[in-house]
């Protein structure tokens, strides 16, 4: 059981000399086990994306530690796959070759990477689109290719930075159900950065609210709507439960807390 | 999950705007400009505004073109002159790519590499070919290699600079994505940076070819027996102005043809340009 943990992590941007460092995150402690689905929400400027960049290893914390099973994270690695807000696909490769790239970089033989890529494309409902060019796909399809590519590398953790932000509402709803299915099948620990309260609430086993200036955890609560959906409950029924609506109000209150100040 | 139609119709299958009678205005304007210039030229020589030695008529230039094509001029036929010049320009492009693209990659990805190579490229970049031509002849002789080298030097900077700017234009998240898959530095360059730089490198090749044709005449100044530049200079020494103009027109036509070839290659092999 792998655990990705951030312990007492602080982050500041700015040159060591000259201008005063700009604090972005302050004393954030968070842990993500395989099988968890943790969402991070907060207003813009609360350091959500910085948090993900720390978990991915793109940034190093100014203080505190990011570690996996006690080993400190020193950079990005194949155990933590990232899904980017802009799909970050490679337009010079076909759909299937995009998904197969992590396996190619890992030195897997051609037949194996082809088979794995096809498997994950099928899992994201893109069977039959393997040979297409990236620019022939819609925004939702591109994000699914990005998710398939992330999962193809067989990661322990799936880190997603507002992957659905640019999609329309109906596409998002379908993507939520797909994400839950993939999370369940891949047994990854998912970390989702989002600005949608409903999305966070429906998908996550735990939602973390970041308060801005500098970003710190102001609220955290555990939920089971995603797991109940996987067990076969109807998503619309789940989202209209009194408990769901009350939880949404608690989260919204936490996000907009002290906004007047 | 099944796709809604709105999500799956790719852009090129959507109904296009209602078909209007659309003339290729750009092309027509270009042809009209060239036609107009030829008409003024013909008029000027017909009315005797300039002596035929200075400005031979279009008909005389056409005759010169036929003469060199079928009988030859300056020891060779037009085809042999064209062949020699084309070989020099494209051999130079080939060797410059072989050197310039790796140099550009090193400058773009390594601070030490940039420190060493950037000043060298910046030193070579503004040099006029006629200035370094004597040095190349003293160092490398008067053989074919020197001629290719002179053209290559003129092509180096566009290739290097376009490679550097292409690599720098690679999307930050594309590079990050490859790094999360555990890409080594070499893999990162081969799988992300180089392909991302290709559109820019192609632009660099087009600029380099332009520089190559510009430098061709200089490179054929010394000890050439074939080549369009040599042909023009031979004609100039005897004031055979119609042949000079014929040579210029052939160079221009070849340069245009190579530009069209590169654009075709770009569309054929880099179809993603401007689409994401």
Each residue of B143-200: pLDDT tens digit? 899 999 999 999 999 999 999 999 988 888 999 999 999 899 999 999 999 999 999 9
Higher-scoring residue by pLDDT: B224, B247: B247
Chain B residue closest in CA terms to A160 = B177
Per the CB < 8 A criterion, the answer to whether B276 and A91 are in contact is yes
Compute the nearest-CA separation of A181 from chain B (Å).
11
Q: Which residues of B27-36 are buried (b: 16+ CB within 10 A; e: fewer)?
A: eeeeeeeeee
The predicted structure's pLDDT at residue A259:
53
Compute the nearest-CA separation of A159 from chain B (Å).
11
Peptide bond into B207 cis (omega under 30): no
Whether residue B8 is predicted with pLDDT greater than 50 in this model: the reply is no
In this structure, which topology does domain A1-79+158-195+204-234 adopt according to CATH? Rossmann fold (3.40.50)
Judge: B275–A81 Cβ closer than 8 Å, yes or no. no
CB < 8 Å to A144, chain B = none
Judge: A76–B1 Cβ closer than 8 Å, yes or no. no
Each residue of A36-52: pLDDT tens digit? 999 999 888 888 899 99
CB < 8 Å to B1, chain A = 125, 174, 177-178
The predicted structure's pLDDT at residue A23:
85
Average pLDDT over residues A175-196: 92
Instruction: For chain A, give the percent of residues with pLDDT over 90.
Output: 61
Facing residue for A140 by CB, picked from B7, B10, B177:
B7
Whether residue A97 is predicted with pLDDT greater than 90 in this model: the reply is yes
Judge: B7–A76 Cβ closer than 8 Å, yes or no. no
Each residue of A208-228: pLDDT tens digit? 999 888 888 988 999 999 999
Confidence of residue B20 (pLDDT cuts 50, 70, 90): low
Q: Please give the interface size between A and B, counted as residue pairs whose CB atoms are below 8 Å apart.
A: 92
The predicted structure's pLDDT at residue B85:
94
Domain assignments of chain A as residue spans, ordered by start: 1-79+158-195+204-234, 86-154
Chain A residue closest in CA terms to B185 = A105
Rounded (10°) angle between helices A169-186 and A110-123: 130
Question: In chain A, which residue ranges form alpha helices assigned H by DSSP?
Answer: 48-56, 95-105, 110-123, 139-152, 169-186, 197-203, 225-230, 235-239, 242-255
Residue B272, Cβ density class (10 Å: 0-12 exposed, 13-18 middle, ≥19 buried):
middle
Each residue of B46-92: pLDDT tens digit? 888 888 888 899 999 999 999 999 998 888 999 999 999 999 999 99
A169 and B CB contact within 8 Å: no
Separation between Cα atoms, residue A9 and residue B179, nearest integer Å: 23
Which stretch of A70-79, A89-98, A166-175 has the lowest confidence by average pLDDT?
A: A166-175
The predicted structure's pLDDT at residue B171:
86
Whether residue B110 is predicted with pLDDT greater than 50 in this model: the reply is yes
A residues 101-140 near B, CB within 8 Å?
101-102, 104-106, 125, 133-138, 140
Chain A residue closest in CA terms to B188 = A105
The predicted structure's pLDDT at residue A16:
60
Confidence of residue B26 (pLDDT cuts 50, 70, 90): confident
For chain B, how many residues are written? 276
Facing residue for B181 by CB, picked from A89, A101, A141:
A101
Judge: A90–B8 Cβ closer than 8 Å, yes or no. no
Each residue of B122-144: pLDDT tens digit? 999 999 988 999 999 999 988 89
Separation between Cα atoms, residue A78 and residue A151, nearest integer Å: 10
**Structural domains of chain B, with CATH:** 54-269 (1.10.3720.10)
Compute the nearest-CA separation of B269 from chain A (Å).
9
Whether residue B39 is predicted with pLDDT greater than 50 in this model: the reply is yes
Confidence of residue A261 (pLDDT cuts 50, 70, 90): very low
Q: What angle do CA A112, A115, A118 make, to 5 degrees?
A: 145
The predicted structure's pLDDT at residue A260:
42
Average pLDDT over residues A87-104: 93
Chain A residue closest in CA terms to B274 = A135
- 10 Å Cβ neighbour count for A3? 16
Whether residue B45 is predicted with pLDDT greater than 90 in this model: the reply is no
Mutate to test the interface with B, among A131, A138, A174 (most CBs of B within 10 A): A138
A166 and B CB contact within 8 Å: no
Average pLDDT over residues A73-102: 92
A47: alpha, beta or left? (left if phi > 0; alpha if psi -120 to 50): left
The predicted structure's pLDDT at residue B271:
85
CB < 8 Å to A83, chain B = none
Each residue of B233-268: pLDDT tens digit? 999 999 999 999 999 999 999 999 999 999 999 988
CB < 8 Å to B4, chain A = 170-171
Chain B residue closest in CA terms to A56 = B180
Per the CB < 8 A criterion, the answer to whether A190 and A206 are in contact is no
Judge: B176–A92 Cβ closer than 8 Å, yes or no. no
B10 and A CB contact within 8 Å: yes
CB < 8 Å to B7, chain A = 138, 140-141, 171
Judge: B275–A135 Cβ closer than 8 Å, yes or no. yes
B5 and A CB contact within 8 Å: no
Compute the nearest-CA separation of B183 from chain A (Å).
6
């Amino acid at each position: 059981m792998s655990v990705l943990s951030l312990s007492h992590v602080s982050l500041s941007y700015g040159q060591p000399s000259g201008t005063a460092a700009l604090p972005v995150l302050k004393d954030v402690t968070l842990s993500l086990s395989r099988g968890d689905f943790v969402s991070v929400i907060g207003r813009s400027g609360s350091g959500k994306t910085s948090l993900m960049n720390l978990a991915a290893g793109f940034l190093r914390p100014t203080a505190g530690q990011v570690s996996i099973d006690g080993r400190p994270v020193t950079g990005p690695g194949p155990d933590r796959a990232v899904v980017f807000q802009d799909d970050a696909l490679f337009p010079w490769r076909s759909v299937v070759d995009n998904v197969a790239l992590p396996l190619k970089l890992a030195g897997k033989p051609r037949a194996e990477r082809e088979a794995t890529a096809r498997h994950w494309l099928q899992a994201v409902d893109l069977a039959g689109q393997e040979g297409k060019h990236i620019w022939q796909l819609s925004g939702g399809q591109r994000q699914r290719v990005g998710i398939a590519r992330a999962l193809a590398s067989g990661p322990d953790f799936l880190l997603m930075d507002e992957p659905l932000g640019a999609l329309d509402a109906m596409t998002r709803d379908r993507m939520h159900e797909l994400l839950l299915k993939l999370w369940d099948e891949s047994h990854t620990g998912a970390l989702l950065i989002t600005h949608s309260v409903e999305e966070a609430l429906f998908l996550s086993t735990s939602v973390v609210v970041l308060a801005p200036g500098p970003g710190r955890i102001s609220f955290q609560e555990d939920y089971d709507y995603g797991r109940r959906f996987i067990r076969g409950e109807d998503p619309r029924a789940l989202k209209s439960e009194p408990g769901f609506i009350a939880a949404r109000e608690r989260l919204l209150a936490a996000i907009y807390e002290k906004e007047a100040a | 999950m099944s796709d809604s139609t709105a999500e799956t119709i790719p852009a090129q299958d959507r109904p296009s705007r209602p078909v209007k009678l659309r003339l290729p205005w750009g092309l027509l304007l270009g042809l009209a400009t060239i036609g107009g210039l030829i008409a003024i030229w013909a008029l000027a020589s017909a009315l005797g505004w300039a002596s035929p030695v200075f400005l031979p008529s279009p008909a005389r230039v056409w005759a010169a073109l036929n003469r060199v094509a079928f009988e030859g001029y300056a020891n060779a036929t037009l085809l042999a002159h064209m062949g020699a010049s084309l070989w020099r320009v494209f051999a130079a492009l080939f060797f410059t790519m072989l050197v310039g693209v790796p140099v550009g990659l090193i400058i773009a990805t390594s601070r030490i590499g940039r420190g060493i190579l950037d000043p060298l490229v910046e030193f070579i970049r503004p040099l006029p070919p006629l200035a370094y031509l004597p040095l190349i002849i003293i160092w490398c002789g008067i053989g074919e290699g020197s001629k290719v080298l002179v053209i290559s030097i003129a092509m180096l900077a566009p290739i290097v600079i376009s490679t550097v700017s292409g690599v720098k234009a690679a999307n930050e998240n594309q590079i990050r994505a490859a790094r999360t898959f555990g890409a080594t530095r070499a893999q990162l360059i081969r799988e992300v940076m180089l392909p991302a730089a290709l559109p820019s490198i192609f632009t660099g090749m087009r600029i380099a070819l332009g520089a190559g044709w510009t430098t061709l005449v200089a490179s054929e100044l010394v000890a050439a027996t074939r080549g369009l530049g040599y042909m023009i200079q031979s004609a100039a020494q005897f004031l055979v102005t119609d042949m000079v103009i014929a040579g210029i027109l052939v160079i221009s036509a070849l340069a245009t043809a190579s530009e069209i070839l590169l654009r075709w290659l770009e569309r054929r092999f880099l179809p993603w340009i401007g689409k994401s």
